[in-house]
Each structure stands twice: as C-alpha cells, then as structure tokens.
C-alpha cells in the first residue's frame, strides 16, 4: 500500500476522540490520494491510468455527520466542476444514510464510467475484532489480521463475493477512520482495474476554521443546488442560466474560501465560467448573423439512400438537428433525439418537419463512410426514430457557422420557416421537461405556426 504522507504517526488525542464518539462537536479535515490502474492476466500496468486527490470535511450534524467531498483528477476523463464536490450524510453508526458518495470519472474505450470511492469512516467499525466475520448484502467480510500501515496500527479487512476478493480495507484500530483501501473495478467488456486510496493528511479544525469552512461548504452547496444539473451529469457545458447563476455566486465564494483549500475549486470555477461566457457571446454573434437569413442551398444524402435538398423544405416549418449521431459511445445528449421525435409526432400533422443531420467527417471519406453510417443507423434503430436523418461530412454545418469552431459543442438546432429563412438558431442542449419535452423549441414552432396561420401562407 502507498505510504501515508501525514507527518504525524499518531493521530492527535482530540482526533481520536472525534472518531471514537460517532457524533462530535469537532470538524475534521482529511485528505486522501488515490490511483486507478488497469490490470490483466499479466499483472498491473506499470503506471496508473488515473490519479486523484480526495479532500473531505467531516462535520457534526443532527443525525450524525456530514461528509463534504471534493475530488481533483489527473488522467483520462474527469468531472466538470459542478460534479466534483458533494455531501454524503453519515449516521451515528458510520453508515451512509443519504447524499452521494465521492466518485472519480474515468474514460475507457470512449465511454465515461463513474467509479465510487470509499467514505472516510468504515461503516462496520463496531464489528472489528480479531478473526471477526459478517455478511452484508452479497459481500462477506473477514478481519484478516492486525497490521501497520505507515506507522498506524490497523485492522486489515477483506470483502469477497462469489467472484473472489473485491475489496480490502485498512481501518485505524482506535476508531472508524479509513487509512487505506483497494477495490477491483470492472469497465467495458470485463476490463479490470484496481482502485486504491490512502490517507495523506488529517487534522482537526479549530472553531474559527470550522465555522469558515462550513460557511464556504454551505455556499458551494447552495450554488450546486441552484444549477439544477442532473445527478451524474458528465457534460462540462453550462446553460446561459447556469453561467449567470454561477457568476452571481462567485464574489461571495471568493470571499468565503480565501485562504482555504476550497479556494482552488473556486478559482477553477471562475476560469471556466469566463471561458464559457466568451463562447456564449461568440454563439450569440452566430445567432445574430444567421437568424433572418435564407437557409444556404444544399444537397445531402439521407441514411436511406435518398437525397435531401434545401428546395424541398420551402413552404414548411423544418427543424434541422445537427449532432454527431452515433451508436458508440451512447451518451447524453442522445436522449434529446427522442424528444425531437415526440415533438414531431405532436406537430407533424400541422406540417412541421424534423430532420436529423448526422455530422461526421468520416462520412466524406470513402474508407470510413460505411462505418460512420453504421454508427448513425445503430442510434436511429436504438431510439426508434421516425424522422429522416441526412448525412453531412461537414459541408452544410460549415455554411451555418459550425459552433465547434468556437469551442462550443453540438447539437445545433436550426428552425427554418416556410419562407426558407432561418427563424431560430440554438447551440447546445435544450432543458427537458418530462411532461412537455423540448418546451423552448416547441414555443418557437408554435409561434411560426401562428404566424403562418395569420398570413395564410
């Protein structure tokens, strides 16, 4: 196991009292270092595929303790800042009673996998004794021995299931503090990894530090809640509303985190919001440039082998949805294509068209065209899409500004009116209302339908 970097080999008496008592008036700061390493029959890879640091704050609560956690990652994949932190609620018996435990996010074969890391308090600390064993769920726990880890006396605990050892824990003998742990993790088609964490620092905060830290944590949590991002979101892009919300919260966060480890997170937030605000301004310029202008002339093949051209759209309201339609990796915002299909079902009888435009440079190259088409077809069949999909190797989206050139992300939604002019230009995902679907897009279409009815065209 990695050596613990804490300079003290013996935890302070007040810290031991904190860990032994379950609920305490003390606030504890813990830091863990971790790695994720791929393994095979030949053994572990010489270098980890991911390294991370886990910063946690244990604070007393009415029902036990709150564990604030912040992860900093290096390697393939990683959370956007709104998902890098959170709170797990721990009851009097050291078991998690609510909230979300810490996770790292690793990209493997193009797919993002959230990997849970252990909480700093071992939930079965009350059962630790020589040769003890117990079962919880599908896991059987066995206390193997007493051992020393980086100068600390620990219980070594193994947890196994029907497939062999899956987890190992090293728990401080004087309390429930987790000193180190390792766990087998599987991704993709059974590819195996080893997750390891070890304590690298610990200290009890004095009353003033605890008050400041808890105030900063509360402000971060208020912002996180106000962003209204779905749990486990892996996309870094913020909506215009989320950028505005974050910008408004930053001055208070800068003040509250000054001199605290949490300030590094706030600095990263500030840089990201500044960059995304710049992109948003650039996208707004694109909107102003294209809205009200005629749709460029084009001819594109469809997935079914037909031809789609701009002239065929005249006299109709048409939604063009530009996106990387592909079957792998199947990740958000793929769900929005289903809501577009739902919208077409509602408005299609009124003469509204929806066309998906699969954007992929591979479609323009003979050697990669077949594979690109297969991927598009796989997503279409998986989502059972009813609207046609045109294939764009890059020619049409370039005529429409290609927001990717501004470091913005697809999808791009272009709504064309019956007169052939662009009525709306939207970059990025739409907020989803489960009952109403793409409400903002539908509002644009309803407005165009009313205009069409009032003019008799």
Q: Which string of DSSP letters, residue by residue, matches 250-309?
A: HHHHHHHHTTSTTHHHHHHHHHHHHHHHHHHHHHHHHHHHHTTSBPPP-EEEBTTS-EEE
Does 439 share its domain with 307?
A: yes
Same domain (yes/no): 18, 143: yes
Query: How many Cα atoms occupy the beta-carbon half-sphere of 104 within 13 Å?
Result: 28
**Average pLDDT for 96-112:** 91
Q: Is residue 223 part of a domain?
A: no
**Binning pLDDT at 50, 70 and 90, where does residue 336 land?**
confident
- Average pLDDT (177-182) is 96
Q: Is residue 41 part of a domain?
A: yes
Mean pLDDT of 68-87: 95
pLDDT band at 231 (very low <50, low <70, confident <90, very high): confident
| Residue 111 pLDDT | 82
Q: Which stretches within 303-392 are classed as H helix?
A: 335-347, 366-383
Looking at the fold, whether 432 and 323 belong to one and the same domain comes out as yes
193 with 303, same domain: the answer is no
> pLDDT band for position 77 (50/70/90)?
confident
pTM exceeds 0.85, yes or no: no
Statement to judge: residues 182 and 306 lie in one domain: no
Final residue of a structural domain among 158, 182, 205: 205
Task: Kindly write down the DSSP assignment for every residue of 155-203, as one continuous string.
Answer: EEEEEEETTEEEEEEEEETTSSBEEEEEEEEEETTTEEEEEEEEEEEEE
Q: Residue 447: its pLDDT value, please?
A: 93
**Position of tokens 């106000």?**
226
Q: Looking at the domain assignment, is residue 252 inside a domain?
A: no
Total domains present in the chain: 2
Say if residue 201 is in the same domain as residue 305.
no
For position 65, which CATH number holds? Answer: 2.50.20
Task: Report the chain's mean pLDDT, rounded to a whole number.
Answer: 89
Residue numbers of the domain that contains 38: 13-205
Is the model's pLDDT at 192 over the cut of 70? yes
Confidence of residue 239 (pLDDT cuts 50, 70, 90): confident
> Final residue of a domain: which of 176, 205, 234?
205
* Confidence band for 46, pLDDT divided at 50, 70 and 90: confident
Q: 303 and 201 in one domain? A: no
Would the pLDDT of 4 be above 50?
A: no
Which of 165, 185, 205 terminates a domain? The answer is: 205
Q: How far is CA 174 from CA 92, 126, 177, 284, in A?
A: 17, 11, 8, 59
Give the rounded percent of residues in the chain with a pLDDT score beyond 70.
Answer: 93
Residue 392, domain member (yes or no): yes
Better-scored residue on pLDDT, 15 or 454: 454
Residue 402 pLDDT class (50, 70, 90 cuts)? very high
Q: What is the mean pLDDT of residues 266-293?
A: 93
* Alpha-helix residue ranges (DSSP H) falling in 348-426: 366-383, 395-399
Beta-strand relationship, 352-359 and 317-323: parallel
Highest-confidence segment of 118-122, 162-166, 338-342:
118-122
192 and 309 part of one domain: no
Q: Is residue 131 part of a domain?
A: yes
Mean pLDDT score, 322-333: 79
Query: What does the pLDDT read at residue 18?
Result: 47
Asked if residue 266 belongs to a domain, the reply is no
Q: Is residue 122 one of the residues assigned to a domain?
A: yes
For residue 177, give both structure tokens: 């503090």
Task: Give the C-alpha distances (Å, rounded to integers) separating 205 from 121, 138, 216.
Answer: 18, 38, 14
The pLDDT of residue 165 is: 72
CA angle centred on 180, ends 28 and 85, rounded to 5°: 50
Looking at the chain, the whole-number percentage of residues with pLDDT higher than 90 is: 67
Q: Is the per-residue pLDDT at 13 higher than 50? A: no
CB of 159 within 8 A of CB of 118? no
Using CA atoms, how far apart are residues 215 and 177, in angstroms rounded to an integer? 25
CATH number reported for the structural domain that contains residue 403 in this entry: 3.40.30.10
Lowest mean pLDDT among 201-210, 226-235, 354-363: 226-235
Residues 304 and 160 in one domain: no
- Does residue 315 share a domain with residue 180? no
Residue 298 has pLDDT above 70, yes or no: yes
Q: Note the pLDDT tens digit of each residue in 377-395.
A: 999 998 899 999 999 999 9
Residue 189, pLDDT score: 83
Residue 193 resides in a domain: yes
Q: Label residue 435 by pLDDT band (50, 70, 90).
A: confident
CA dihedral 449, 451, 456, 457 (to 10 degrees): -70
């Amino acid at each position: 196991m990695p050596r613990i970097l804490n300079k003290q080999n013996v935890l302070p008496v007040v810290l031991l009292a904190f860990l032994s008592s379950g609920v305490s008036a003390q606030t504890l700061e813990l830091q863990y270092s971790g790695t994720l390493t791929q393994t095979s029959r030949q053994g572990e890879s010489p270098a980890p595929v991911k390294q991370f640091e886990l910063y946690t704050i244990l604070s007393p609560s009415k029902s036990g303790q709150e564990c604030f956690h912040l992860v900093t990652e290096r390697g393939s994949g990683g959370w956007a800042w709104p998902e890098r932190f959170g709170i797990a609620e721990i009851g009097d018996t050291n078991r998690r009673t609510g909230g979300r435990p810490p996770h790292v996010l690793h990209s493997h074969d193009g797919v993002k996998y959230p990997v849970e890391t252990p909480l700093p308090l071992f939930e079965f600390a009350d059962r630790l004794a020589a040769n003890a064993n117990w079962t919880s769920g599908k896991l059987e726990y066995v206390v193997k021995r007493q051992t020393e880890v980086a100068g600390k006396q620990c219980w070594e605990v193994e947890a196994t299931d029907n497939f062999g050892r899956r987890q190992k824990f090293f728990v401080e003998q004087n309390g429930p503090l987790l000193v180190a742990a390792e766990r087998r993790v599987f991704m993709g088609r059974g590819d195996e990894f080893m997750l390891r964490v070890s304590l690298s620092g610990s200290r009890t905060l004095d009353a003033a530090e605890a008050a400041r830290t808890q105030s900063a944590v509360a402000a971060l949590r208020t912002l996180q809640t106000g962003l209204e991002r779905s749990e486990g979101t892996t996309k870094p892009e913020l909506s215009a509303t989320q950028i505005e919300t974050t910008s408004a919260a930053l001055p208070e966060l800068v003040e509250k985190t000054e001199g605290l480890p949490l300030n590094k997170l706030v600095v990263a937030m500030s840089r990201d919001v500044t960059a995304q605000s710049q992109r948003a301004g650039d996208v707004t310029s694109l909107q102003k440039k294209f809205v009200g202008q005629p749709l460029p002339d084009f001819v594109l093949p469809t997935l079914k082998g037909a031809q789609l051209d701009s002239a065929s759209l005249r006299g109709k309201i048409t939604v063009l949805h530009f996106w990387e339609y592909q079957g792998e990796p199947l990740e958000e915002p793929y769900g929005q294509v289903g809501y577009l299909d739902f919208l077409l079902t509602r408005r299609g009888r009124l003469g509204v068209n929806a066309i998906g435009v699969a954007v992929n440079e591979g479609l323009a190259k003979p050697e990669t065209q077949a594979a690109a088409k297969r991927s598009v077809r796989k997503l279409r069949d998986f989502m059972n899409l009813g609207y046609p999909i045109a294939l764009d190797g890059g020619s049409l989206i370039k005529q429409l500004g290609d927001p990717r050139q501004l470091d913005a992300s697809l999808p791009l939604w272009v709504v064309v009116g019956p007169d052939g002019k662009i009525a709306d230009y939207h970059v990025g995902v739409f907020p989803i209302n489960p009952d109403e679907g793409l409400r903002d897009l539908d509002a644009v279409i309803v407005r165009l339908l009313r205009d069409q009815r009032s003019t008799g065209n």
